[in-house]
Structure 1
Amino acid sequence: MSRSSSGIVAGLTAAALAAVGFLAYQASANVPDTLGKPAPGASPSHVAKGPQRPRRDPAALPAHSGQGARVVYALKGDRVWLVDDGDKVARTFTVRPSTVDPEPGSYAVTSRTDRITGSDGVPIEHVVLFAKNEGVVIGFSSAQDGSMASPDPSKKTGGVRARLADGTALWNFATLGSKVVVVP
């Protein structure tokens, strides 16, 4: 091979290596983030399949929520449980929280009003008051029209809203002096 032909071969080899390098770079830049990862919900084959920790039922009564007849209100889950004196859940339901939450702890129902206009101007019924925080009285109620709109975040309100049927069940369950336990 002559000196000029070996120079051409070297040039072509360098050009070929540059092209391969460029194509490899492009391919690596376009790899989906999910390549090599298990599909959502799939168990990776390299992970040992031992006993799995059971998922907690969001409707399950929270641990450490007291004993005996009580209303339990979970702030994180926006859920209420009506618990009878045998520690059996009589009913559970979700609620729409107010802008001011009660502090976690144990309270007693201090007041009940059948029908009134709420601090947000909405006609409400079955008002069950049990706490005060930041100067705001806090209690459960239902909008008379059945709505569960989010409260205006710029106003301090204490109405924890339930659906009509749930509000009626709470009204019938939580008489004056009834225990209300608020958990995080």
Structure 2
Amino acid sequence: MVAFVAAVIAVAPAATATPWDPEPLAPQSPVGNERAAPASALLPGERLRPGNSLRSPNGRYLLALQRNGNLVLYDMARFAEPPPGAAHSSWPADAALGVGNVPVALWDARTAGTTAGALVMSPDGDLVLHAADAAGGPLWSSRTADRPGAFLSVRDDGAVVVGYGDDGAVVVGYGDGRVLWTAGTSIPDVGLAGTKHVVYDRAGQRVWLIEADGSLFDTYPVSGRATSPSPGAYSVFSKSQYSSSPRTPVTMRHMVRFVEGITGLDIGFHSIPRTYGGIPIQTVDELGQPRSAGCVRQHDAKASQLYDWAPIGTPVIVLA
């Protein structure tokens, strides 16, 4: 569970995801592995087409792949205000909610204006938004590949998400509660509004990448040390694509250092270490457990992502 008090929790601000498209509410007949919407889960091999959606079991939260190419999580019990100067009745509306009622967007993939073809829950564990044109490549991904058997779900019971997320969590993970990726959930508010930053929860063995506007870029399990570094404010001061340990014969990739060691043993985020023979010293399924002697281990794809996402000087807040 996350070891910080409720006073420092803040819900990510609503994303800009207009226009609201009512079509996702209309179920479509499944074709092949496609599932009729609105189910609440997308199993390995299944997909959503533009205009389809998933809905939480309690009916409140809707994850829609809109026809404008954006993947959006809506809270159907909260409504946004029309933009300044716009007549309330002129807003696009969901007929089931009444004219002018526009649900609040909790999260979106920032892919509006693209030619999305399908949201696919890949058998390898990666949730991928593909372009309609195969040559266009993926538009967005949860970066959770190499985790076969994982599935996407829109949940209304935060307790099922092993302490990460309130009502309305969108989760890529397993039925036993292991979470690989989540969005639309509560995130730590550490007083850095307006600044891109990283939060590392040492007790929960999880990190959050938070944009300057307060929105959640990503969150995922890691493996650090249970007793260090000390809680507090740090910042990224050095990065290396390749590094090695001075104590054990292992190598790491995409090192992002944020704690300067007194004896030269700096602490940073990096990939799962490998022996000189290329063998990982822990499995990706063990992420979320404190297995490191100091640094913070990540899935290889997440390590590469953080390396690119966090420039030198990015604040890193460590929670006990």
TM normalised by structure 2 equals 0.36
Checking the alignment, whether the CA contact within 8 Å between 2:269 and 2:295 is kept in structure 1 is yes
Q: In the alignment, is the contact (CA less than 8 A) between 1:116 and 1:123 conserved in 2?
A: yes
The answer to whether the 8 Å contact 1:141/1:162 transfers is yes
Query: Residues 141-162 of structure 1: CA distance to partner in whole angstroms, max 9, x if unpaired?
Result: 00355836234xxxxx422100
Q: What is the deviation of 1:175? A: 1.3
Deviation of 1:133 (Å) = 5.5
What does 1:51-130 correspond to in 2, within 5 Å? 57-59=163-165, 60-64=186-190, 66-67=192-193, 68-98=195-225, 101-119=228-246, 120-130=248-258
Equivalent residue, structure 1, for 2:11: none
- Cα pair 1:146 1:163 within 8 Å, conserved: no
Q: 1:78 offset after TM fit, Å?
A: 0.5
Pick one of 301, 307, 310 that aligns with 1:171: 307
Greater RCO (Cα-Cα under 8 Å, separation 6 or more)? 1
Report matched runs for 1:142-153 at 5 Å. 142=271, 143=273, 147=280, 149=282, 150-151=291-292
Kindly indicate whether the alpha-carbon contact (under 8 Å) linking 1:73 and 1:182 is maintained by their aligned counterparts in 2: yes
Q: Which has the higher helix share?
A: 1
Deviation at 1:112, TM superposition (A): 0.5
List alignment gaps of at least 5 residues for structure 1: 1-53, 152-156
Structure 2 gap segments, 5+ residues each: 1-157, 166-185, 283-290
Structure 1 counterpart of 2:269: 140
Greater share of residues in strand:
2
| Alignment partners' CA distance in 1, 2:163 and 2:249 | 35
Any idea what SS the aligned residue of 1:169 has? helix
Partner residue, 2:19: none
So what's the TM-score if we normalise by structure 1?
Answer: 0.59
* AA of the residue aligned to 1:94: P
CA RMSD of aligned residues (A): 2.5
Match of 2:61 in 1: none
Identity of matched residues, %:
27
Task: Find the counterpart in structure 2 of residue 131 from structure 1.
Answer: 259
Alignment CA distance shift 1:118-1:177 (3 Å)? same
C-alpha change, 1:96 and 1:65, in structure 2 (3 Å) is: farther
SS in 1 for 2:209: strand
Number of residues of Structure 1 aligned to a counterpart in Structure 2: 126
> Could you tell me which amino acid in structure 2 is paired with residue 182 of structure 1?
V
Q: Alignment partner of 2:187: what SS?
A: coil
